[in-house]
Structure 1
């Protein structure tokens, strides 16, 4: 199989990120994988083979993302897509009862880390007229009783639209993926009757597989149940 394109993925060690890495390799892509868990990344690379490169690091660290992008671009000869997927929720919801320390960690990951991915990837994506993919959420489309997590995803949705406008000027594309509830480690209890990570991975690959003339601005994926 000829591999001509490379996608960089944050939050790649489990859940949607790992499923997308597997789907991308199956579709003929190279994958650069970033997450904090070096052991999980190494196991994933053993499964995926030479089409994958693991770069362990914290996505909330701008320098770590700069180094990761540089390594992936050097290793595979460029980057054609970046998937800003890393994210988290909170254990204690609400404003009055919530934990401000959790808010800070969530905002750093859901917003700042996503901005860092865009910042470090854009110079490479300009070279390839590439694509930026962002993990939003249905929680970023609805008003949910005081949800601070949902508010971070509203930011992602607004930013995705803004980036689509900016990237269009030089032939790039930005796609927002908005899942409903997905059975991933994001939740403390399994959700077997909800979406599976592979469902979201399929949506990402669909967006990445479109011809240059077609831009998929948003894909919302909901469980049927």
Structure 2
């Protein structure tokens, strides 16, 4: 019996080596891919490729200062009333992902309040685009680290629009630190209080106004899943956002309020040019599976999906990765 097993194992090993020889031969004949090192274009329109503009922005980062304007209009996206008659609050709504989300929410029929820090010109531009979609827009400047401001922003929204159906927590502070010892207390607290405490403040302020069928959507990140060695504090807050999302989803389920998150990969917004040196910004996103950063318009439909009860009434506590590939 033992000799028979050994003979079978030897036969299998021989067969595996034969298969290997065949694959090795094909590898030797393989020509270099014509798309090697070329960013992947998988959507309906061609997106900008690396290198990105070598540019550094002053905090908090203005979208109108970017040499290459982020694409947020999603011209191929046709609205179909998925959010008709609803009201949404989008923090960090002046630019980047927040602006793209505000525009698509409006295209789907929602009035939108955007909360932003002090990027007034960007906020006015977002408001103009929301209004061009035929909806109303309220622009509110303030700091989500302040619970009193968060409460005021929600109350102003409800006063103007008469209701609140969707909260998108998206405001963020990001600044790299190569060594933990170089991460100052001030830097750490700015990140923690903006990126995770601000989400708590806004959700708590919104809850008295959210009815059954409402949705909260949090902006997470691939860094909250995989980490980032030079973004220790930022990655930690994004991981906390993912845990907050799942916990709050369970907490609010009996009230009929769904809570989910989107975890984007690299996205071309003012956030990173306001973080890294210009020469590093030029390479932003090239390590993603698609070899380029996403444009905000490639991320925003995920928020529509999670906001719309028609699309996602049975989706709760999910961290939806939109990373251009599986990563890891």
Structures share fold, TM-score greater than 0.5: yes
Report the CA distance between 1:128 and its aligned residue.
4.4
CA distance in 2, matches of 1:93, 1:135: 24
Aligned 8 A contact 1:93 1:148 in 2: no
CA change 1:77–1:154 in 2 (3 A) is: same
Counterpart residue number, 2:314? 214
Structure 2 partner of 1:133: 217
CA distance in 2, matches of 1:87, 1:104: 12
Q: TM-score, normalised by structure 1?
A: 0.92
Alignment counterpart, residue 4 of structure 1, candidates 77, 81, 85: 85
Of stretches 188-197 and 55-64 in structure 1, the one that deviates more from structure 2 is: 188-197
Q: State yes or no: 1:46 paired with 2:105.
A: no
Of 194, 197, 209, the residue aligned with 1:124 is 209
Q: CA deviation at 1:218?
A: 2.4
What CA distance in whole angstroms lies between the structure 2 residues aligned with 1:88 and 1:194? Answer: 19
Q: Which moved more, 1:32-41 or 1:106-115?
A: 32-41
User: In the aligned structure 2, how far is the partner of 1:171 from the partner of 1:121?
Assistant: 14
CA deviation after TM superposition for structure 1 residue 164, in Å: 0.5
Residue 223 of structure 1: CA displacement? 2.1
Q: Please list every run of 5 or more consecutive structure 1 residues that lacks an aligned counterpart in the other structure.
A: none
How many corresponding residue pairs?
224
Q: Which has the larger radius of gyration?
A: 2
Unaligned runs of 5+ in 2: 1-80, 274-280, 286-291
SS in 1 for 2:187: helix
Given the alignment, which residue of 67, 87, 92 partners 2:172? 87
Match of 2:234 among 122, 139, 149: 149
Could you say what secondary structure the match of 1:195 adopts? coil
Distance 1:175 1:41 in 2: 25
Partner of 2:8: none
Root-mean-square deviation (Å): 2.0
* TM-score when normalising by structure 2: 0.64
- What corresponds to 2:267 in structure 1? 182
Q: CA deviation at 1:181?
A: 1.1
* Aligned equivalents of 1:201, 1:92: Cα separation in 2: 29
Shift of 1:75: 1.0
Report how far residue 24 of structure 1 moved: 0.7
* 2:116 is aligned with 1:35: yes
